Amino acid sequence: MIVGILGCGAIANIITNFASEGKLGVEIKYFYDRDMERAENLASQVDGRVVLDLKDMLSHVDLVIEAASPKAVEEMVPIILKEGKDVIVMSVGGLLNPKIRLNLEKLAKKNNCKIYAPSGAIVGLDGIKAASLGKIQRVTLVTRKPPRSLGITTEKETILYQGKATEAVKKFPLNINVAATVSMAAGQEIEVKIIADPQVDRNMHELEVVGDFGEFHTMTSNLRCSMNPKTSVMAAYSAIKLLNSLNENLLIGT
């Protein structure tokens, strides 16, 4: 399977490192970024090719990893799907707008391709998806990050947001992928709290789900990417695991 990358930042860097160490079950070959130097840097690690326009890679790849921005989901993922290529969306916040999501689903269906949204920086999605078969009474997500990861400076713990995921995504589009993923997995609106906490040095997500299955509680405490502290290493790992699973015959816990 030949794969292209749209957006050559922190997540793409980790994925490409895996590829360069021979730890990826697919071939990462094409790179596109509006910052060409970034694309060139990654391409050089795996003898890949840089394209000047996303469209230039589409006839050569089976799948594109979007690791750019929510805006790219809206503007560029349709181009990928129209070419009949599968796509892994990392900027999951971009899918929370129902108009955008439905349009992408329609395009994927029409062109017989798939949109994958990996679990990203949170654990417990397997449980939420199963729980959503019954009635879910409550899903709450508390995201706690160092202020710098939220793009602010503060000396004391500060609640930046408390409310619905769909509203949070408008205010923190680059920090709310986890809320978007949980909300879509649950198939319903969820309650979100975002806290800037100078006492922590990890990106932390505490999830509580109560439904007619019972209840569960998870805590994910993520190391941050050195290239982009907003992003957790686990997010890149989840994309790599998903990529590798595309070639596996036994799928556990999906």
Ligand X SMILES: NC(=O)c1ccc[n+]([C@@H]2O[C@H](COP(=O)([O-])OP(=O)(O)OC[C@H]3O[C@@H](n4cnc5c(N)ncnc54)[C@H](O)[C@@H]3O)[C@@H](O)[C@H]2O)c1
Nearer to ligand X, 31 or 133 (CB): 31
CB of 240 to ligand X, least distance (A): 13
Figure out which of the listed residues 16, 149, 177, 183 binds ligand X, where binding follows CB under 6 A: 177
Rule CB under 6 A: is residue 128 a binding residue for ligand X? no
Rule CB under 6 A: is residue 171 a binding residue for ligand X? no
Nearer to ligand X, 29 or 205 (CB): 205
Rule CB under 6 A: is residue 90 a binding residue for ligand X? yes
Would you give the binding string for ligand X spanning residues 102-121, x where CB under 6 A is met? ------------------xx
What is the footprint of ligand X within residues 31-50 (CB under 6 A)? 33-35, 38
Catalytic residues: 205
Rule CB under 6 A: is residue 16 a binding residue for ligand X? no
Number of residues that bind ligand X (CB under 6 A): 29
Figure out which of the listed residues 235, 237, 240, 243 binds ligand X, where binding follows CB under 6 A: 235
Would you give the binding string for ligand X spanning residues 50-69, x where CB under 6 A is met? -----------------xxx
CB of 212 to ligand X, least distance (A): 28
What residues have CB less than 8 Å from 254, skipping those under 6 apart?
126, 245
Nearer to ligand X, 16 or 91 (CB): 91
Nearer to ligand X, 90 or 141 (CB): 90
Complete edge-to-edge strand list for the sheet that includes strand 158-164? 158-164, 191-196, 136-145, 203-211, 214-222
> 140 is written with which tokens?
């709450």
Binding site residues, ligand X, CB under 6 A: 7-12, 33-35, 38, 67-69, 71-72, 90-92, 120-121, 174, 177-178, 181, 227-228, 231-232, 235
